[in-house]
Structure 1
Amino acid sequence: MKIQLEIVKYIIYIYDDSKWNIWICTLDNGLFKIKLDDKSIDNYKNSENKFSIPSNNTKDILLDSKGKLWIATDKGICNFDYEKEVFTTYNKEQYENNSLIDDETFCLLKDSSGLIWVGTYSGISLFNPNSNFIHFKSNPYDENSLSGNIIHGIYEYDNKTLWIGTNENGVNVINGDIIKHLNKENSNIISDLIEDITGFNNYVFIGTNEGLSVLVQNDDKGYTITNYTDKDGLPSNKIRSLFIDSKGYLWIGTNKGLAILDVNNEKIIDVTYILDNIGVSDKFIRAVYEDSKGNYYIGCFLEGGLIKINPDTKEYKIYQNNDNDSISNNSIRYITEDLNGNILVGTSHGINILNLSTDKFKYYTENDGLINNTVYGILVDKNNDIWMSTNGGISKFLIKEGVFSNFTVTDGIQSNEFNGRSCFKSKDGSIYFGGINGFNVLNIDDIELSTFEPKVIFDNFEINGINEKYISNIKLKFNQNNIKISFFTNDYKNTKTTKYYYKLEGLEDNWSVTNSNSLVFASLAPGDYTLKVKTITHHGVESEESSVIFTINPPIWQSKYAIFIYYILIILAIYAYANKVKKLDRLVNKRTYELRKEMDKNEQLFNQVLELEKNKNNYFINLSHELRTPLNVLSSINQLIRSFIKNDKFITIEKLSYYMDIMDRNCNRLLGLINNLIDYTKIENNNYIIHKQREDIVYLVEETVLDMKDYIEEKGLKLIFDTDVEEKSIRCDKFDIERCIINLVGNAVKFTPKGGLIEVLIEDLGDKVKIVVKDNGIGISEENQNIIFDRFNQVVDKNSEQKGGSGLGLTITKQLIALHGGYIYVNSKVGLGSEFIIVLPVYSE
C-alpha cells in the first residue's frame, strides 16, 4: 500500500495509536494522521487558532493510559482530542514552578505508573496526564486572574459567586469567567491582608489583620460595607477565624480572644470572659464550630487545646493531650463534623476524631498514612470520606477502611503547602482548598485513584563501607557486620515523600517506616537475616515485599565445633568441681551445726538481757506517766487554797471540806495507781485479775468527771457532761474504768487551748454503752491516729511540744477496756479536735 504525502523534508517519528490511525511527526510540516480504514490523510499545522498544534516541528508522540494522544514539539507539548479534533497546549510558565522546564521538547515516555516523562532542551520534566484538580492562580500577564496566590478564606455566595481572600492582595470575586478584585483602594474593605471569609443570606464577612469588614448585598444595587475594629469591641484587630452559628451569630476568633457579632443590631460583644471563667489562658482562637446537637467547640492555637461548651447547661470540658485516648495535640487548627456526628479536629499533629458517645479521641498521623501532620482544613464529602489540606499535600481518608489516599503537586494540586481557614465545600459537592500558589477545585466523582502497584528494587549492598555486587543469600564473615542496603521504587511520582516500610527478620519482628531509600545496620551479631522492604503509593496501593537474605557467620571460636568442645570441657570441670564441693559441704555442715548451737545459746542470753532492760524502762515510764494526772489535781487544789490565803479571801468550812475531800480522793487514787504499776506487769504477762462488780456506769463516769471540773475550769476550759440514760449497769472494776476516764479527760485538757470545750457524753446502745470524751483542741492527723494506742508512742504536735506524757496512757486505757470486753477508738481532724469513744458491754442477769 502506498500513501502519498505532500512534500516533506524530514519524517521524525511514525506512531500507530491502535485506533486504525498512523501518526507521522515531521520537521516544519506539522503532524500527519493517516486513517487506515479509508486511507485519508489529515495534516495538522500551527495557526492563529489557539486550539491548533503549537508548532510545525513535531518530535515525538504517544498514547497515555486514558487514550489521550500527546505530541512533543519545539514549543511545548500538547494533547489531541479525538472527538473535537483540537489540541490543548502545555508550555513553560515563568511564574509556575510546576510547568515544563523548557518549551523545546524532544521525546516522550510513559512509565508503568502512568506518568509521562518529557525530554527537553534543559532537562527532564515529569507530567501527570490524569490530574482532575482544577487550579486557579495569579497570572501577572492576565488581569482576569487572581490578584494573589496566597489564599486565606474561600466562600461561595448564592451558589454562583466565589469569594477568595488573599494574604496581601485583597478579595477576588469570581462569577463565571469574570474575576473582580476588591481591595482597600477600590472599595471600603478595611485591609488587603485577608485571614478568613464566610457569609450567610446577603451578608459576606471578611476577617482581616486589621479588623472585620461586613458586606451587605443589595440586590442589583451593589453592596454596602461596614468595618469593625477593637474600638468597636473586638478583642484584637488580628482576626484568625470566622464562624456563623445556627442562630445567625458571627463568632470572631482573634489572636487575643473571642467576640460575637449580632448582625441584627450591628453590635460586637466581647465574649473572651468565657475563656477566663473556665481558666483558659490561651486566647489565640483559630477555630469555632457548632455541632448538630448545639454544642460549641473553641479551638485554641497556642497549646490551649479544644474546649466544648453546652450553651443550655453551661457545662464545659477542656480536651488536652495527656494519654492515648486524648487529643493528639493542643494546637487546634480546624473543627468540623462528619455525617455520623463525630467531631473532626485538625491539629499540628494529625487529625483527631472525637466519638461523642465515648468522649474519646482516635487520631491519625503520618505514621498511619496521613501525608503531613499539620492539618489546615477538613471537609467531608457526600460519602462521609474526609478530605484534608495539610503542609504536605491533600489527604483523603476513608473512615470505614482506615485508608489514606494522598495527592501532591504531581497530581495537579497548587502546591504541597496549603493555608489555614482556606477550604470550602459548595452545595453541589465541589471541594475547594487554598494554599500558597492559588487554589484547587475538585469534584470527588472525577477523582480517580491510581491502581498502579509499585515495586521495590535493591540496587546497592555496602559492607564495612565497601560497595559489593548485590546478590541474595550472601555469606559474610563475622567482622563484616556493618551493612548499608540501598533500594528504590518505580513510583516516580513523589520520590521525595515516598515512605518505605521495612523489618530485618533475625533482629526485629515489627515493621518500621523511613523516608530514606537506604538502611544502615551496625555491629550485627552473627546469624541469619532477611531484610523485607515494601512501599505504599500516595493513593494507598501497597507493593509486594522485596527481600534480601544474608548470613553473618560466627568467628571460629564461636563455631558449632568450638561450642561442642566447650561443652565437653565444661562438663569435666563441673564434675571435678562437684566432687570437691561434696567434700567441702560435709566439712561445712559439721562446722555449721556447731556454730548454730552456739548462736542459739547466745540468742537466748541476748533476749533475756533485752527483756530485763525493757521491764526496767517500762517501770520508770509508767511511773512518771501515771502519777502525773492525780498530782495535777492535788496541785490545782493546793494552788487554789493558796490563792485564797494570799488574797485574804474567806473560805467556808464547807468549801474547805469539799476541797479536802477531793484531795483525799486523789491521794487515795495515787496510792491506787502505785499499786496498779504492779498490776501493769500482770497485764503484760496475762496475770492481771479484774475485780468486777456491778456498777452504775453513768454515776461512775459523772463522779469521776465532776472531780476534775475545777481542774478543767482552772485551765480556762469549759466542761459539759451529758447522758441520754439516767442509769446503766455494767460489770467492771470501778478503779480501772475511773483510771481510763481520768486518762482521756486529762489528755483532752492537755491538747485543748484556753477557751476550749471538753465534753463527756454517755449514750445507751442497748446491750452496750458508749462513753465519748470529746474536745475541740488541736486534733490528730490520720497518720498518727493509726499508732496512737501503740505502746510507748506519743504523738507530738507543734502546738503541744511542751506538754508531757510517757506515751503509755492510751495503751493502758486500751488494754483495760479490752479486759472489760470492750474497745476504744478515736475520731479526729487536725485543727478541729478529737473524740475518744469507749464501748463497753452492759450488765446482764
Structure 2
Amino acid sequence: MLPEFKFIYLTSSIEEILGYDLEIHYTNANLPFEIIHPDDLHIQKSKIDKNSDFSKAFCARFKHKDGHYVWIEDFLVPTYNENGDLVSVSGFSRDITERKKLEKMLEEQNKLLEMDVTAEIKANKIMENTLKKQEELLVNISHELKTPLNVISATAQLLEMYYMDDSIINKKDIFIKYFKSIKLNTYRLSKLINNIVDSSKIEAGFFQLNLLNVNIVNVVEEIVMSVTSFVKIKGLNIIFDTDTEEKIIACDPEKIERIMLNLISNATKFSNDNGEIFVNVKDMNEWIEISVEDNGIGIEEKKMDIIFDRFEQADKSLSRNAEGTGIGLSLVKSIALLHGGSINVESEYGKGSKFTVTLPAGAVAKENMIYDRNIKNKDERIRIEFSDVYF
C-alpha cells in the first residue's frame, strides 16, 4: 500500500475476509473509501502517517461484499527513504470481528454489572435510610405513647391514694381536674392509634372514601365554627371567608373534616398568642381551593420538602413546642390524593404558613348511602384531633 492509498499486492486472505476480489478491482488503484466505516477513516489514513506508532496494531471496520462490516486488525511495518519519508508499509491482516463482538458483550456485561452494583448501593442506602426512619419512628412513637400513659398512670395512682384515705370527697375540684387530664390523654392515644391505623390502611390500599355530593363551602364553614372555641382557648382568632356560597362537589365529608381539623390544629399549635388563623374557600371552576393560613412560627425552607413524608417532622427534637408523630400531614396529603386533588404549602420562617388543598369540583352519579356522619360524636372527633394542642 503506497502513501497515495494504492495497493501494490494483496493476499488471498483479505479477499476471503471481505468477499471482494481486491487484486482485480483495487490493485494499483485508489483505496475505495466507501468500504471503510466512516468513523474509522482516520485510522486508515494514519497508516501512511510517518508519525504513527507502527508498533501497535491498527483496527478498523471494512464493509463486506454482503453489506455488513468486518473488523480487521493490521500489523504493519513501515519503509522510509533516505530523507526519512514514509514510502510504503507492509504487513498482515486478520479478521477480529468475533473478538470485537466478545469485547462488546463483555463491555455491556460490565455496564450491567456496574448498574447492578449502583442499584445495590442505592438499595442499601434506601434500606439504611428506611431503618433510620423506622428507628426514629419507634423512638418518637415510644415518646408519644409514654407521655399520656405516664400521665394517666400517675393520675390513677393519685386518685387511688385519695380514695384509700377517704379524702377524695374533699377534693372534688382536684378530682375533676385529674379526670379531665385522663380524658385528654386518652384522646391523644386515640389520635395516635387512629393515625397509625389509617396510615397503614392507605399504604396497603384498604383506605376507602365514601363519596357524597355536598356543598363543600358549608362543610368547611361548619368545621371552622365547631373549632372556634378550641382555638380561642389558645388565645387565637380564626376567620372564615369564601368567594362563593355554594359549590357542590363529590367528597367524603368525614375525610374532609379530618383534613381541616389536622390543618387547623397544626395552625393552632404553631401560632403565637393573639395570632390569627385564616380559612378560605376559593371557587376555581373545575377545582375548589381550601386554604388554612396562620401567622405563626413558619417552616424553615430546608424542611419544606419533608413535611408531607410519613413520620417526618419539621422539628424532630423531643423538646419541640408541640407534640406529634409526623403522620398527620402525610394522611392529609394521602386523603387529598385519594380525592383526585393535591396539597401544597407556602411558608416563611418566623412569619407563618399557608396550606392549600385543591379538590376536583366534579360530582358522582351515585352516592354512597352507607355513609353516616352521626356515627361518631363530632365534638369528640374535634377533641381527639386537638388533643395535642394542650387546650
TM range (shorter): 0.3 to 0.5
- Using the size of structure 1 for normalisation, the TM-score is 0.25
Point out the structure with the larger helix share: 2
- Using the size of structure 2 for normalisation, the TM-score is 0.47
